[in-house]
């Protein structure tokens, strides 16, 4: 049974159309993302809004305001720390740790970020190595002879052996 020439031409065109459409269905081309817009003044406004909400006991509103503030100024260690502590209180430990790690990237010299990351990592996530690392950073940065933290470090070192 032979193939009809008209049918053969139609199949050829269908094949070419399929190849063309397959080429168009390749990976999506995206515009490069714009760098994050920073605006410390606007961030300060959201920080105040968050603080007021927190003082009024509206933790959800505080979190939303402080998240906006951190988006606009991720270098503000105070906002990062406050937000992380509220997230911890809401049992959102992984989010709190990620936020603190981001804060440390921008402000590695802020001892409180290391301390809070260590506490959350140890007590809530049972990530003892991360806790030990950040308790040590905290001690180095504070240069204080904090016997309580020294005891925690010794305990972690024993547990990790």
**DSSP letter (8 states) at residue 32:** P
Contact 134, 115 (CB under 8 A): yes
Contact 53, 61 (CB under 8 A): yes
pTM of the model: 0.75
Question: Which architecture, in CATH terms, is 38-160?
Answer: Alpha Horseshoe (1.25)
> What residue segments make up the domains of the chain, in order of their start?
38-160
Hey, is 85 helix, strand or coil?
helix
**Listed range (20-24, 61-65, 100-104, 131-135) with the worst mean pLDDT:** 20-24
Q: Who contacts 71 (Cβ-Cβ below 8 Å, separation ≥6)?
A: 36
pLDDT for residue 145:
87
**Average pLDDT of the residues of the chain:** 87
Could you give the C-alpha distances from 120 to 15, 43, 112, in angstroms and in order? 60, 26, 12
The single residue listed with the structure tokens 């459409």 is 21
Hey, is 42 helix, strand or coil?
helix
């Amino acid at each position: 049974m032979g193939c009809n020439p008209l049918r053969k031409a139609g199949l050829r065109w269908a094949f070419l159309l399929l190849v063309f459409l397959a080429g168009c269905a390749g990976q999506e081309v995206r515009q490069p993302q714009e760098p994050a817009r920073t605006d410390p003044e606007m961030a300060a406004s959201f920080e105040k809004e968050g603080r007021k909400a927190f003082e009024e006991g509206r933790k959800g509103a505080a979190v939303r305001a402080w998240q906006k503030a951190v988006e606009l100024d991720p270098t503000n260690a105070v906002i990062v720390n406050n937000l992380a502590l509220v997230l911890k209180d809401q049992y959102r430990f992984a989010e709190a740790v990620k936020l603190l790690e981001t804060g440390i990237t921008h402000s590695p010299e802020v001892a409180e970020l290391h301390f809070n990351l260590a506490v959350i990592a140890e007590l809530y996530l049972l990530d003892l190595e991360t806790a030990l690392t950040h308790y040590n950073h905290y001690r180095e940065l504070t240069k204080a002879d904090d016997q309580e933290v020294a005891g925690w470090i010794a305990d972690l070192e024993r547990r990790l052996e």
